[in-house]
């Protein structure tokens, strides 16, 4: 029987409720946190290349601003919806909180398929969306960033449009910009680098020598490929990886750089010389030490989890593990490094970019990486301490740390008695 597809909005509400109950917070704390402070739906017309007008729908959710302005990505996707956007904004609140950033959570999306748009149409959609949101975002209010199917070029169009609206340059409006327009060095690799720092610290806790460890990557895109590169630098061996078109497995190991080159030439990792094809389910069942899910939500399900043999799962993607699968993995003793911690490197370096924009003073790549490492290690230790103190999973511990910080901020502001 097919597994039920869970509504992400309901999933995150359940996680918040559980954390509020475990922390003994007053009912008002959950009532505030269970929904966004502001959620906006916009419709805007765009002239297509053939001269016709098409109306696009977009959303922006600002979940909680107790710790600071809202922060989170903008995605362009044909299957996105309002509930997904609201849920992702809520996860962003706790992702920022758990690593100690002065941000609340935000998220946005436009329902479209960028693959069906010409470059000029994509630019007009980008500019139209930011015009529609213009009164609700800003460097001290809500700072967007790239997400699924958006990139630095789209951010450049958006910051240019917003600057024209306001009448002066606004580089701090959003992050993930091209370096020339105020982007930060190290941003492109930050999610992966942050994830591997957390994996490294977790390996120390269980006595796993990374120089003798094997790993597999689900989703050999930006986060997945860079995670593989950094794991290789730490001495670990990649034996499998995949993408949307297929997978490759070689128990003797595969060089991530060579696999990346193969993918650039062939459009997929499938068929990499010396490997055999492998499905996602087979990849997750491999006898590896570390799994890095770096693709989409809900890829580790209750049918996949029983077959997992890894000691550590480092969630480079958002929401790759369903709640049912999480419970199974916990019982099996798998150390799951939750997404709100393990994938927080991206928003951390986005924070660095924003700080640099506000100062108009920019850091070297080495400075960015050093600051990122310090924040990720400190956050892991804080979550691990909560995990030990409360006897809960690392995911629950991360939510406890994050929710407590937000609740404390709300109480200081007078939102809670």
Instruction: Indicate whether 228 and 140 sit together in one domain.
Output: no
- Let me know whether 148 and 85 are in one domain: yes
The CATH number covering residue 124 comes to 3.40.50.10860
* Domain shared by 255 and 150, yes or no: no
> Based on the structure, what is the number of domains in the chain?
2
Q: How many CB atoms lie within 10 A of CB 359?
A: 10
Distances (CA, A) of 108 to 130, 146, 288, 298, 311: 11, 10, 36, 20, 35
Annotation says 107 is catalytic? yes
Strand residue runs (E) in 213-334: 214-218, 237-243, 246-254, 276-277, 290-293, 312-314
Q: What are the tens digits of pLDDT across the range 355-388?
A: 999 999 999 999 999 999 999 999 999 999 999 9
Q: What is the pLDDT of residue 128?
A: 98
Over the stretch 205-225, which tens digit does the pLDDT of each residue have? Answer: 999 999 999 999 999 999 999
pLDDT digits (tens, 9 = 90+) for 59-104: 999 999 999 999 999 999 999 999 999 999 999 999 999 999 999 9
Pair (225, 299) in one structural domain: yes
Statement to judge: residues 151 and 215 lie in one domain:
no
Instruction: Please state the pTM of the whole predicted model.
Output: 0.93
Give the residue from 303, 337, 371 where a domain finishes.
337
Shared-domain flag, residues 249 and 164: no
In a domain, 91, yes or no: yes
Residue 6's pLDDT band (boundaries 50, 70, 90)?
low
Which candidate in 107, 177, 311, 405 is catalytic?
Answer: 107
| pLDDT at 119 exceeding the cut of 70 | yes
| Average pLDDT across the chain, whole number | 95
- Determine if residue 58 is left, alpha or beta; phi over 0 gives left, psi from -120 to 50 gives alpha, anything else beta: beta
Domain that holds residue 271: 190-337
- Regarding whether 212 and 152 lie in a shared domain, the answer is no
Cα 218–Cα 221–Cα 222 angle in degrees, nearest 5 = 125
């Amino acid at each position: 029987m097919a597994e039920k597809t869970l509504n992400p909005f309901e999933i995150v509400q359940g996680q918040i409720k559980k954390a509020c109950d475990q922390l003994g917070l007053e009912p008002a704390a959950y009532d505030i946190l269970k929904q966004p402070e502001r959620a906006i739906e916009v419709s805007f017309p765009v002239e297509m290349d053939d001269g016709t007008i098409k109306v696009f729908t977009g959303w922006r959710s600002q979940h909680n601003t107790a710790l600071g302005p809202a922060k989170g990505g903008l995605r362009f996707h044909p299957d996105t919806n309002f509930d997904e956007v609201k849920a992702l904004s809520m996860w962003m609140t706790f992702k920022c909180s758990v690593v100690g950033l002065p941000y609340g959570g935000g998220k946005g999306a436009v329902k479209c398929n960028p693959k069906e748009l010409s470059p000029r149409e994509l630019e007009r959609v980008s500019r139209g969306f930011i015009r529609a949101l213009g009164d609700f975002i800003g460097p001290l209010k809500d700072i967007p960033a790239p997400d699924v199917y958006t990139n630095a070029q789209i951010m450049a169009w958006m910051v240019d449009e917003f600057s024209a609206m306001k009448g002066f340059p606004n580089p701090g409006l959003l992050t993930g910009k091209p370096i020339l327009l105020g982007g930060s060095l190290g941003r492109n690799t930050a999610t992966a680098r942050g994830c591997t720092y957390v994996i490294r610290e977790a390996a120390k806790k269980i006595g796993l020598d990374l120089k003798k460890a094997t790993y597999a990557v689900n989703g050999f895109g930006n986060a997945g490929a860079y995670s593989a590169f950094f794991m290789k630098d730490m001495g670990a061996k990649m034996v499998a990886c995949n993408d949307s078109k297929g997978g490759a497995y070689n128990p003797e190991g595969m060089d991530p750089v060579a696999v990346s080159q193969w993918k650039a030439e062939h459009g997929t990792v499938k068929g990499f010389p010396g490997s055999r094809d492998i499905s996602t389910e087979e990849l997750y069942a491999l006898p590896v030490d570390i799994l890095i899910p770096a693709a989409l939500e809900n890829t580790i399900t209750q049918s996949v989890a029983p077959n997992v043999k890894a000691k550590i799962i480092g969630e480079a993607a958002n929401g790759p593990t369903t709640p049912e699968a999480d419970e199974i993995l916990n019982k099996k003793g798998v150390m799951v490094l939750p997404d709100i911690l393990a994938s927080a490197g991206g928003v951390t370096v986005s924070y660095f970019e924003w700080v640099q924009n506000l100062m108009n003073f920019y850091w070297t790549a080495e400075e960015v990486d050093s600051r990122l490492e310090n924040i990720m290690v400190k956050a892991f230790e804080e979550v691990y301490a909560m995990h030990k103190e409360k006897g809960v999973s690392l995911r629950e511990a991360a939510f406890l740390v994050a929710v407590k910080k937000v609740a404390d901020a709300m109480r200081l502001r007078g939102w809670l008695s």
